[in-house]
Amino acid sequence: MVVTAHFIDYEWKLHKKILAFVPVTSHKGEYLAKALENCLLEWGLRDVYSMTVDNASSNDTAMVFLKKKMMSWGSSTVRTKYLHMRCIAHILNLVVQDGLKDCDSSVKKVREVVRYVRNSPARLKKFRDLADWLSIEQRSSLCLDVPTRWNSTYLMLQSALTYQKVFESLESDCSFKSDLGNSIPDFMDWESVGSLVQLLKCFYDMTIRISGSLYVTSNTFFIEISDLYCLLKGMVEVGGPVGVMGKNMKAKFEKYWGDVEKMNLMIFFANILDPRDKLEYMPTQFNHMYGEEKGQTFYDKVVAGLVELFDDYSTSASSSVPSVPVPSVSVSVQPTSASSVSVGKPQHFLKSQIKNQRMESGGKKQTELDMYLSEGIVEEEESFDILGWWKINSARFLVLSKLARDVLAIPISTIASEYAFSTSGRVLDPFRSSLTPKIVEALVCTQDWLRKQNTPLCIEENLEELERFEKELSGDGRSGRSLGSTLATIPYLTV
C-alpha cells in the first residue's frame, strides 16, 4: 500500500510526497484503516483534510473507521463529512469497461489477428518487414490488450489501424487464412474499429488530463464529469451499437455521479473556488445533467454546504487568534450619572438604530465568500495559474484563501500514487529480489522526495521506447539477464 501526501505550501506551490510504501497482509477495511492510522501517527499528521481512494468496498469500511478517528483527533464534524473522495480515474475505468463488455465482432477479429502475429517471433518479423516494404512509418508497437484495462484495448485498436494495410496484405498468406478462418477482419470491420477508436480517444484524453501530478486538478473535477455526461448522452442519441454502448456506460455513470447526495461536495466546492467559473455556469450544468427540479435542489445543497464549510473555517480562524498581552496600567474610575456624555466621542445614534433595524430584518454583514462570489469571473487564458491567483488575492480573502488552499490540493485520482508501484518494479526486479520491504520502501520514498518538483509523471505507456528496445534486443544476442535488467528501466504506468 502506498500513502501519498498532497499539500499546498504558504508560497502556493503544490507538493506530492510518498509517505509510506508498505506490504499489506490483509485487504479488510479495518486492517487498511489501522495501517493508514499508524502511518499518519508516525508522521505526526492529525490534520488530514481528505483521502482519495479507489472504489473497493474495503476502502469504504476504512473511511468510516478513519472518520471517527479524525473526529477524536479534533477535526470538526463539518470537515469530516467530506473526508472520503473517490478516484475519478477508477470510476471512468468502470464506466468505459461497462460499455466494452459487449464488444462487437469487429473488435474480437482485430484482437485475434494481433494475437496471431505476436504469438511467433517469425510472424512478427515478417509483419515488420512487410510494413517496411509498404512504407508504413512504425510509430507505435503492435500491442495486445488486457481484459481489465480498457485503455489497453484502445491502444491495441489504435496501433492495429496504423497497420491495416499490412493485415490486408497478409490475407494472401495461406497459413494466415487457414489458421484464422473467419476471424480475419474485412473492410467493414476496420471501419467499425476506426469509429470506436475515435470514441475511445475522448475517454483516453480525459484520463490523461485527470492524471496530472504537478498541476491542480480538483477544480476541473466537475467540468470533466459534466463533459463526460454530454459525451454519453450524445452516444445514446446516436443509437445502434454506439447507442447500446452509451446506454451501458450511462447506467454506470449514474451509479456514482447520478445523484449529488452520493457525491463528495468538494467536487463542486473546488469548481466554485476557481475564479474563472465560480457560480457562473453551475446552475445550467446542474439543470442539464439532472433536470430543472432536481438541478435546482442540488445546486441549493451545494451552495449551502459551501457556506457551512466557510463558517466552520471562520469559527476556527477566530478561535485560533492568539491573545495579545496588554500591559498593566493604572486607571482612575469616576462614576458618572446617566445623563453624562463623554466629550469628544461621537455617539452615532442614527447609525446604531439603522444597524439594529437591518439585523432585525434579516440583513447580515457581507462575508469574504459573499465578496468573492459577487465579483466578476476571470477571463479564460491558457497561461492562467489558479494558485498564483490565490497567492495574489490571499491578503484580501484571509479565511477563504485557507479554504481554497485545502480544497485545491485534493487529488482527484490515485494515479500519481500508483506510479510508485511502477517505480518499485524497477527497484525490486528478479535480479534484486532479496531486498527487504523496509529497504524497498526507503528506496522508493527517497527517490520520490529527491525528484525535482518540476518533473512530471509520464502516465502514457511508452510504446515507442518499448518497440526500440525490442528491435535492439532481438538482434544483438544479449543474455536473458541483461534483457531483464534493460526492460526494467522502461518507464510506464498502469492506468
Residue 213 in contact with residue 256, Cβ under 8 Å?
A: no
Q: In this predicted model, what pLDDT tens digit does every residue of 282-330 receive, in sequence order?
A: 999 999 999 898 999 999 999 999 999 999 999 888 766 444 343 333 3
In a domain, 87, yes or no: no
First vs last C-alpha separation in the chain: 16
Residue 492: what pLDDT?
Answer: 26
Q: In this predicted model, what pLDDT tens digit does every residue of 107-132 receive, in sequence order?
A: 888 988 898 888 888 888 888 888 88
Q: pTM of the predicted model, to two decimals?
A: 0.76
Q: Which of 329-338, 356-365, 377-386, 436-445 has the highest mean pLDDT?
A: 377-386
In a domain, 117, yes or no: yes
Q: In this predicted model, what pLDDT tens digit does every residue of 128-180 receive, in sequence order?
A: 888 888 887 766 678 888 767 788 888 889 889 988 888 888 887 788 888 88
Q: 461536495: which residue's cell?
A: 265
In a domain, 200, yes or no: yes
Question: For residue 267, which of 52, 13, 418, 419 has the smallest C-alpha distance?
Answer: 52
Residue 62: what pLDDT?
Answer: 92
In a domain, 218, yes or no: no
In a domain, 212, yes or no: no
In a domain, 114, yes or no: yes
172 φ/ψ sector (left φ>0, alpha ψ -120 to 50, else beta): alpha
Domain coverage including residue 110: 100-205
Q: At 486, give phi and psi (nearest 5°).
A: -70, -50
DSSP H/E element including 234: helix 221-238
In a domain, 105, yes or no: yes
In a domain, 107, yes or no: yes
- The pLDDT confidence band at residue 364, using thresholds 50, 70 and 90, is low
DSSP 3-state percent helix, strand, coil across the chain (nearest 5)? 60, 5, 35
User: What is the residue type of 488?
Assistant: A
Residue 482 has pLDDT above 80, yes or no: no
Structural domains counted in the chain = 1
